Amino acid sequence: MGHAYMSEWLVRLMTSNANKRCEASQICLYDANVNSYEEEIHIMASRMTINYEKKPCYDIVFAGDFSLLAEELADLGTADRRVAVICDSNTEKLFGKEVREILEKSAKKVILHAFPAGEANKTLDTVKEIYRKLIEEKFDRKDLLVALGGGVVGDITGYAAATYLRGIDFIQIPTTLIAQSDSSIGGKTGVDFDGYKNMVGAFYMPKLVYMNVGTLKKLDDRQFYAGFAEVMKHGLIKDALFYEWLLDHMYEIHDRDTEVLLEMVMKSCGVKKLVVEKDPKEQGERALLNFGHTIGHAIEKAKNFEMVHGECITLGMVAAAFISWKRENISMEEYYEVRDMFVPFNLPISIDDIDPEEIVSLTKSDKKMEAGQIKFVLLKKVGKAYVDRTVTDTEILDAVKEIYFSDEDMRE
C-alpha cells in the first residue's frame, strides 16, 4: 500500500501562502476596548464554564501567560488555604518557580512536590508520596492541590485530590497540548496499575482549569504534534468547521502563534465540553472521543508503548476513516483528505513493523468493549462520528493492512 495518491486538498495546502492569516481567527477573543496588538496578546483571555449535571461546575480560563492566575486563585478564596503544587521533574524546572511565586502572593502557604516525569510513574506509589507529603504538611480538607504539568500530573493529582481525606479541592494547570485539549477537562482522574493503563481512578471535577498556552512553546515537536492529533480528532468527530479552521491555520500552528494556539485550544475544549456535558460518566456520547483509539491502543500495546499516544491514535483514525469509506459513509476523496491532512502536522499515516493479525487480536482487549462487542467509532461524515457495534474482524484487518507499509510495498 503506497501513498502515491495525494489528495487535491493536500496539494492545495502545500502550495498555499505560508503567511496566510485567516480573518476568522480574530473572532471574539478580545476585549473590544483594547487597541494595540501587544496589549491584546497580554490581556487576551477568555473563559468557558463546564457544567456537570446541568449546573455550572468549573471554569476554564484561557490565557497566553500566568498573569491572571493570582486573581483567579484569589476568587477561589485561597488567601487562608494551604496549596500544594504537584509537578513532575520537567514542569518543576520549567514553571515551578514562576507558579510558586504567584501562589505565594495569594495563599496561606505553598509547598511544591515533584515526582520523576513519565507515564511509568503514574502509579499508586507516586500517589502515596503525595499523601505522605500532605500529611507531613498537615493539609486538611479546606486546602488545595494544583496540578502543574501534562496529563500524567493532572491524572495523578486529580486522583490524590479525590481520595485524600475523601476529597479536597484541586485545580488544573495543564502544560501539554494533550492536557490542554483533552485530559484536564471532564474530571477523569486515575493511575495505571500493574501495567494496565488507567485501571484505578475516579471521576472528580477540578475547581478551575487555567490554560496558559504560552507553556506549549516549551514542548518538543513530537509531544506538540502528538497532542495535535487529539485536537484534530475533535474536529473530525464533531466540528467540520473547526477541522477546516485547523487546516487553514497550519502555518500559525507550526509557528505556535499565541493567538492561534489560544483559539485552537478554546475551540478544542468547546468540543470536549459538548461531549462531557452530555455524558459525564462515559455511558454514551463520550465514547465518540474514542475515535481512532480502538486500533490506536492496539498499536500502542503492540509497540510496547514506545510510540507516542497521539501517533498511534492518528494511525487508528486513518484506519477508522478507511472503514468509514468502505462502508460508503464518506467518499474516497474524503478518506484520502482525512488521511493526508495528518502529514503536514508531522503525524504518521502508515507504519511498517507491526503484524496486522496481532493488532486485530489486541483490539479485543480494549477496555471500551461492551459485552464482548467492540464499540467502534466511525465517521458518518467529516465532523460527525457515531458508535458502531457491527465492525467485523475482517474490516479491522483490512483497515490495518491499509496503514501497514511493508517492505514489499517499498519494492513495488
> Which residues contribute to the site for ligand NAD (CB under 6 A)?
88, 90-91, 94, 117, 119, 122, 149-153, 155, 175-176, 178-179, 182-183, 186, 188, 198, 215, 218-219, 223
* Nearest residue to ligand NAD, by Cβ distance, number only: 151
Minimum CB–partner distance for residue 305 and ligand NAD (Å): 10
Minimum CB–partner distance for residue 94 and ligand NAD (Å): 6
For the chain, the maximum distance between any two Cα atoms, rounded to a whole number of angstroms, is 70
Q: Residues 6 or more apart from 199 whose CB is under 8 A from it?
A: 190, 191, 192, 193
CB-CB contact of 393 with 342 (8 Å):
no
Beta carbon nearer to ligand NAD, 183 or 258: 183
Beta carbon nearer to ligand NAD, 10 or 145: 145
Beta carbon nearer to ligand NAD, 215 or 268: 215
Minimum CB–partner distance for residue 2 and ligand NAD (Å): 31
Alpha carbon 225 to its chain centroid, in Å, reads: 11
Minimum CB–partner distance for residue 122 and ligand NAD (Å): 5
Beta carbon nearer to ligand NAD, 218 or 384: 218
Minimum CB–partner distance for residue 224 and ligand NAD (Å): 9
Minimum CB–partner distance for residue 139 and ligand NAD (Å): 23
Beta carbon nearer to ligand NAD, 82 or 188: 188
Q: Residues 6 or more apart from 303 whose CB is under 8 A from it?
A: 312, 354
Beta carbon nearer to ligand NAD, 77 or 167: 167
Grid coordinates in use for 233?
Answer: 480528532
Beta carbon nearer to ligand NAD, 292 or 356: 292
CA angle 87/183/272 to nearest 5° reads: 150
Minimum CB–partner distance for residue 208 and ligand NAD (Å): 16
Alpha carbon 185 to its chain centroid, in Å, reads: 9
Minimum CB–partner distance for residue 3 and ligand NAD (Å): 27
Q: Residues 6 or more apart from 93 whose CB is under 8 A from it?
A: none
CB-CB contact of 191 with 153 (8 Å):
no
Grid coordinates in use for 346?
Answer: 508531522
Beta carbon nearer to ligand NAD, 127 or 323: 127
